[in-house]
Amino acid sequence: MCGIIGYVGTRDASPILIESLKKLEYRGYDSSGIGLLDHGSRLIVRKSKGKIRNLEELLRSHPLPFSTVGISHTRWATHGLPCDENAHPHTDNKHQIAVVHNGIIENYAQLREKLKKQGCRFISQTDTEVISHLIAACYKGDLKEAVQRSIKQLKGAFAIGVISKDHPDMLVAARVGSPLIIGLGDDENYIASDVPAILDRTRRVIYLQDGQMAVLTKDKVEVFTFDGKKVAPKIDTVSFTIGLAQKEGYKHFMLKEIHEQPGVLEAMLKTRLAGGKLKLEGLDVSDKVLASIKKVMIVACGTAYHAGLVGKYIIESLARLSVEVDTSSEFRYRSTIIDQNTLIVAVSQSGETADTLAAVREAKAKAKGAKVVSICNVVGSSLVRESNGVLYTHAGPEIGVASTKAYTAQLMMFYLFGLKLAQVRRSTPRSRINKIIKDLQSIPRHYKELLKKNSNVLKVAEANSHFGCFLYLGRNINFPTALEGALKLKEISYIPAEGYPAGEMKHGPIALIDEYRAVVCIAVASHVYEKMISNIQEIRARKGNVIAIATQGDREIAHHAHYVIEIPRIEELLTPLLAVIPLQLMAYYIAVKRGNDVDQPRNLAKSVTVE
Ligand code: AGP
- Quote the ligand 1 centre to 327 CA distance (angstroms): 11
Shared-domain flag, residues 77 and 222: yes
Residue type for 603, please?
Answer: N
Give the integer Cα–Cα distance in Å for 352 and 394: 16
User: Cα 475–478–479 angle (5° rounding)?
Assistant: 60
Phi/psi for 358 (5° steps) reads -65, -40
Shared-domain flag, residues 426 and 473: no
Q: Which residue has the higher pLDDT, 317 or 42?
A: 317
* Structural domains counted in the chain: 3
Q: What is the average pLDDT across 123-146?
A: 97
User: Which residue(s) pair with 230 in the sheet?
Assistant: 224
Q: Which helix (H) or strand (E) holds 248?
A: none
CATH number at residue 55: 3.60.20.10
What is the pLDDT, as a whole number, of residue 29? 86
State pTM to two decimals.
0.81
Express each pLDDT in 219-243 by its tens digit: 999 999 999 999 999 998 887 777 7
Q: What is the average pLDDT across 421-433?
A: 96
Q: Would you say the CB of residue 608 lies under 6 angstroms from ligand 1?
A: yes
Shared-domain flag, residues 436 and 477: no
Closest CA to 402 of 196, 592, 178, 194: 592
Q: Are 576 and 481 in contact (CB under 8 A)?
A: yes
Q: Would you say the CB of residue 336 lies under 6 angstroms from ligand 1?
A: no
Give the integer Cα–Cα distance in Å for 281 and 263: 20
End-to-end alpha carbon distance in the chain: 29
Mutate-to-test residue for ligand 1 from 299, 353, 414, highest number of ligand atoms within 8 A of CB:
353
Q: In the predicted model, what is the mean pLDDT of the chain?
A: 94
Q: Would you say the CB of residue 600 lies under 6 angstroms from ligand 1?
A: no
3-class secondary-structure state, position 529 = helix
Phi/psi for 231 (5° steps) reads -125, 155
Q: Are 416 and 345 in contact (CB under 8 A)?
A: no
- Quote the ligand 1 centre to 349 CA distance (angstroms): 7
Residue type for 414, please?
Answer: F
pLDDT at 40 over 70: no
Structural domain harbouring 610: 453-611
Instruction: Please pick, among 2, 83, 301, 521, the residue that the annotation labels catalytic.
Output: 2
Shared-domain flag, residues 464 and 598: yes
What is the pLDDT, as a whole number, of residue 463? 96
CATH number at residue 459: 3.40.50.10490
Express each pLDDT in 58-74 by its tens digit: 999 999 999 999 999 99
- Quote the ligand 1 centre to 306 CA distance (angstroms): 10
Atom 9 in ligand 1: residue holding the nearest Cα: 302
- Quote the ligand 1 centre to 216 CA distance (angstroms): 43
Shared-domain flag, residues 275 and 167: no
Shared-domain flag, residues 381 and 469: no
Shared-domain flag, residues 227 and 204: yes
Q: Which helix (H) or strand (E) holds 179?
A: none
Q: Would you say the CB of residue 545 lies under 6 angstroms from ligand 1?
A: no
Shared-domain flag, residues 68 and 121: yes
Domain end point (choices 417, 451, 485) = 451
Domain end point (choices 205, 238, 271) = 238
What counts of helices (H) and strands (E) characterise the chain? 19, 25
Q: Which helix (H) or strand (E) holds 419?
A: helix 405-425
Q: Would you say the CB of residue 303 lies under 6 angstroms from ligand 1?
A: yes
Domain end point (choices 220, 238, 256) = 238
Shared-domain flag, residues 394 and 436: yes
Mutate-to-test residue for ligand 1 from 382, 387, 403, highest number of ligand atoms within 8 A of CB:
403
Q: Which residue has the higher pLDDT, 401 or 1?
A: 401
Shared-domain flag, residues 425 and 517: no
Q: Which atom of ligand 1 is nearest to the CA of 604?
A: 4
CA 302 to chain CA centroid, Å, is 17
Give the integer Cα–Cα distance in Å for 497 and 460: 16
- Would you call the peptide bond into 233 cis, given omega within 30 degrees of 0 as the criterion? no
Banded model confidence at residue 25, pLDDT cuts 50, 70, 90: confident
Q: Is 230 a catalytic residue?
A: no
Shared-domain flag, residues 554 and 606: yes
Q: Would you say the CB of residue 491 lies under 6 angstroms from ligand 1?
A: yes
Q: Is 469 a catalytic residue?
A: no
- Quote the ligand 1 centre to 424 CA distance (angstroms): 31
Shared-domain flag, residues 391 and 534: no
Banded model confidence at residue 156, pLDDT cuts 50, 70, 90: confident
Phi/psi for 444 (5° steps) reads -55, -40
Give the integer Cα–Cα distance in Å for 349 and 608: 11
Instruction: Please pick, among 49, 218, 490, 606, the residue that the annotation labels catalytic.
Output: 606
Closest CA to 7 of 35, 29, 49, 31: 35
Express each pLDDT in 525-551 by its tens digit: 999 999 999 999 999 999 999 999 999
Give the integer Cα–Cα distance in Å for 303 and 484: 6
pLDDT at 363 over 80: yes
For 298, residues 6+ apart whose C-beta sits below 8 A from its C-beta are: 308, 309, 311, 312, 323, 324, 325, 326, 345, 346, 347
pLDDT at 1 over 80: no
